[in-house]
Amino acid sequence: MALATATTTPLISTDAPGRMSRARRAAGQAAIVIAALAVVVLLAWPGIIAHVAPTATGNDILAAPGAAHWFGTDQLGRDVFSRTIYGARPVLVASLLGVVLATVAGVGIGLAAGTAPRWLNSVIMRVVDVLLAIPVLMIALILIATAGSGVRSIVIAVGVAFTPGFARVVEASVRKLRSAEYVQAAKLFGSSPARTSVRHLLPNLLTEVVVLGTSAIGWAVLTATTLSFLGLGVQLPQPDWGTDLAAGATNLATSWWLSVFPGLAITLTILAANFIGDYLLAAADPSGRLRRAHDVRAMLTGRRRPRGTLAAGVPAARVPAEDTPAAGLRADDAPAGDAS
Amino acid sequence: MAFVLRRLAAAIPVLIGVTIIAFVLIHLVPGNPAKVILFGSQATPQQIAALTAQLGLDHPLWQQYASFIGQLLHGNLGTSYATQTSVAHELLSRTPSTLILTGAALVVAIVVGVPLGVVAGARPGSLVDRAARGVSFLGVAVPYFFLALVLVLVFSVRLRWFPAIDNGTAGSLVLPAVSLGWGYAAILTRLVRGRIIEEYQSEYVKSARARGCAEWRILLRHALRNSSIPAITTIGLQFGNILTGAAVTEVIFGRAGLGSYLATAITSKNIPVVQGAVVLIGIGYVVINLAVDLIVGAVDPRARIA
């Protein structure tokens, strides 16, 4: 078995981020193109896929999926296929806008904290830590309790709930970037802190921010649909995956298609978002350093490493190397392992 | 000992922060809370003013916060707008059911996730590994509320193995626990698999192998043991998410826990209940993570110095 393990070792590195296979790259790029097209069509023109209005009632009540109604019909004779297509809009709007909001706010707070004097930095980051201690869904629920239900509230809820995670990641990167030579040089030449942030720090954070944002979309979709599943989003008869899934649950025993198709749509969306997120992470970060430093998805779900346990699980020899540029180049860093 | 004190000290600002957020809540809601309570009862301005005074809403903010904390330290979380009953009592009577579900989901996550991660990590690239990666990729993507419905459809509607609605038996805990625990099993699988692969490249595994140590012993005594620390940390940090997930799962399975109570409170803007839940979940999160830190510190001396 020892021999077997030794010979299988090279197999790991095929999925190590540094050596992405051609097939994986092609699949990743194809997924991005298809997902982008799907998002545009679903947001702008769902009518070219579904020809029936999602709220149009019919005489075929609770019909099983068939040729006339691909996904069947509900108790009012509405076409489930059409509702599933049109139901994408509130979910995509809520999760994508929510992530954009969180990204902008998180980058703003992270930049501000990262370039602020030490005392201000620790004040801001303590507040961020407190917010990270509250589960994302709880923050979202609190906001909806005060702002009322609806898609706009969900956008705000997702945005605010995800901001602390972004802020923490960005702040850590800014602190690291601040000691870079070109940033030091800009400072020496009299560049103001604001100018340094916009001209030097921001462009260098861009890749990381885009990757982080993409990785967060899957969780944002989950959060947004959970909220609408709880009846806090779009109200019937308007179509929405979470709302329809919950509404169909009452007829689960007799008409499974009411819940299953919206549920599959949510699953497929999260699957695609995670796949693209993983691909971008691997493509943008060949050394796996970003992944190691931030454990991206962990940050966004509140799976924060408390300061005291930062070293936990990191083999002792690697702890001091964590902040040095060479950290990502160490041979034993390559198999990050969760590229699946 | 200094380590324990330091961890305790670090927990305090988080607790204070949670109480501030919970306190600020009441003032974020548009309108006077007194009006919200008396809503629908055609209250006169005098009645509203009387209730405002009774709730202490006419005092300065810091005084209100001080009295909020004072009440909190006495275990008093205020009274529900809807039923005029003690929030602390209502919440605490529903907590055990939610904690049982959270614990059961954790058991599912650990029992499924850790062995799967170990097997996959021990033979990366093998058939088992690919299957495990597929399962964990799906596990993260399927929303637990959807999984819950699919499980009900298969195991209670078709096969009739488990009840769909809670009836107090252990059998009715199976479906909620599996649907909630599955996603965390997927997270654990990914984590443990990655760690085991990494541990296999470490010097001490190489030296153990060179000493002629049995392969299963290397896996269990060296690789798994060192992988367990990040796994424990992850579970602690995910605890808050599992707890809120449990609240949602309860609504689906008709379990009388915090979830359904909280859901009604949110839709009816019953702020004291939401406040109480925030404080309770915040305390739960801090306590669990404190415990995790202390466990990790006890197991791994390296964590104590960081």
Whole-number Å distance between alpha carbons of A243 and A89 = 13
Number of A to B CB contacts under 8 A, please give it.
228
- Kindly determine whether residue B13 and residue A319, on different chains, have CB atoms separated by under 8 Å: no
Residue of B nearest to A223 (CA): B143
Q: Please report the pLDDT score of residue B109 as a whole number.
A: 92
Q: Would you call B207 an interface residue with chain A, using a CB distance cutoff of 8 Å?
A: no
Whole-number Å distance between alpha carbons of B209 and B202 = 11
Describe the crossing of helices B258-267 and B225-253 by its angle, rounded to 10 degrees. 60
| pLDDT less than 50: residues of chain A | 1-18, 292-297, 299-340
Single-letter code of the amino acid located at A163:
T
Q: Please report the pLDDT score of residue B111 as a whole number.
A: 92
Q: Give buried/exposed letters for A156-177 (b at 16+ CB in 10 A, else e).
A: bbbbbbbbbbbbbbbbbbbeeb
> Is the Cβ–Cβ distance between A133 and A112 less than 8 Å?
no
Q: Comparing C-alpha atoms, which of B102, B96, B41, B94 is closest to residue B273?
A: B94
Q: Comparing C-alpha atoms, which of B257, B127, B232 is closest to residue B180?
A: B257
Q: Would you call A215 an interface residue with chain B, using a CB distance cutoff of 8 Å?
A: no
DSSP letters for B50-73 = HHHHHTTTTS-HHHHHHHHHHHHH
Q: Please report the pLDDT score of residue B104 as a whole number.
A: 92
Whole-number Å distance between alpha carbons of A327 and A167 = 23
Q: Please report the pLDDT score of residue B43 as a whole number.
A: 65
Q: Comparing C-alpha atoms, which of B189, B190, B193 is closest to residue B219?
A: B193
> Is the Cβ–Cβ distance between A110 and A163 less than 8 Å?
no
- Kindly determine whether residue A302 and residue B125, on different chains, have CB atoms separated by under 8 Å: no
The size of chain B, in residues, is 306
Whether the full predicted model's pTM is greater than 0.90, yes or no, is: no
Q: Please report the pLDDT score of residue A30 as a whole number.
A: 85
Whole-number Å distance between alpha carbons of B33 and B45 = 13
**Alpha-carbon A301 to chain mean position:** 9
The DSSP letter of residue B86 is B
A107 to chain B, minimum CA–CA distance in Å? 22
A220 neighbourhood in chain B, CB within 8 Å: none
φ, ψ of residue A267 in degrees (nearest 5): -60, -45
A311 neighbourhood in chain B, CB within 8 Å: 302-303, 305-306
Q: Please report the pLDDT score of residue A14 as a whole number.
A: 37
This model of the complex carries an ipTM of 0.80
Q: What residues contact B273, with CB distance under 8 A and at least 6 apart?
A: B80, B81, B82, B87, B90, B91, B261, B262, B265
Q: Would you call A4 an interface residue with chain B, using a CB distance cutoff of 8 Å?
A: yes
> Is the Cβ–Cβ distance between B175 and B167 less than 8 Å?
no
> Is the Cβ–Cβ distance between A339 and B195 less than 8 Å?
no
The DSSP letter of residue A323 is G
DSSP letters for B196-225 = HHHHHTSHHHHHHHHTT--HHHIIIIIIIH
A301 to chain B, minimum CA–CA distance in Å? 8
Q: Would you call A137 an interface residue with chain B, using a CB distance cutoff of 8 Å?
A: yes
Q: What residues contact A121, with CB distance under 8 A and at least 6 apart?
A: A113, A114, A171
Q: Comparing C-alpha atoms, which of A17, A22, A95, A106 is closest to residue A272?
A: A95
DSSP letters for A143-205 = HHHHH-SSHHHHHHHHHHHHHHHHHHHHHHHHHHHHTSHHHHHHHHTT--HHHHIIIIIHHHH
- Kindly determine whether residue A222 and residue B193, on different chains, have CB atoms separated by under 8 Å: no
Q: Please report the pLDDT score of residue B5 as a whole number.
A: 82
Helix (H), strand (E) at residue B172:
helix B171-200
A206 to chain B, minimum CA–CA distance in Å? 26
> Is the Cβ–Cβ distance between A135 and A191 less than 8 Å?
no
HEC string of A126-153 equals HHHHHHHCCCHHHHHHHHHHHHCCCHHH
Please write the tens of the pLDDT for every residue from A129-172: 878 877 888 888 888 877 777 888 889 889 988 898 889 888 88
Q: What residues contact A93, with CB distance under 8 A and at least 6 apart?
A: A43, A151, A155
> Is the Cβ–Cβ distance between B118 and B195 less than 8 Å?
no
| pLDDT less than 50: residues of chain B | none
**Alpha-carbon B288 to chain mean position:** 9
- Interface with chain B: mutation pick from A303, A305, A330, highest number of B CBs within 10 Å: A303
DSSP letters for A301-322 = TT-PPPGGGTTTTS-GGGTGGG
Sign of CA dihedral A114, A120, A126, A129: negative
B122 to chain A, minimum CA–CA distance in Å? 8
Structure tokens at A255: 């008409």
- Interface with chain A: mutation pick from B25, B138, B145, highest number of A CBs within 10 Å: B145
B274 neighbourhood in chain A, CB within 8 Å: 141-142, 145
Cβ atoms < 10 Å from Cβ of A199: 13
Please write the tens of the pLDDT for every residue from A212-244: 888 889 889 998 999 888 888 888 788 888 888
The DSSP letter of residue B300 is -
Structure tokens at B284: 């739960």
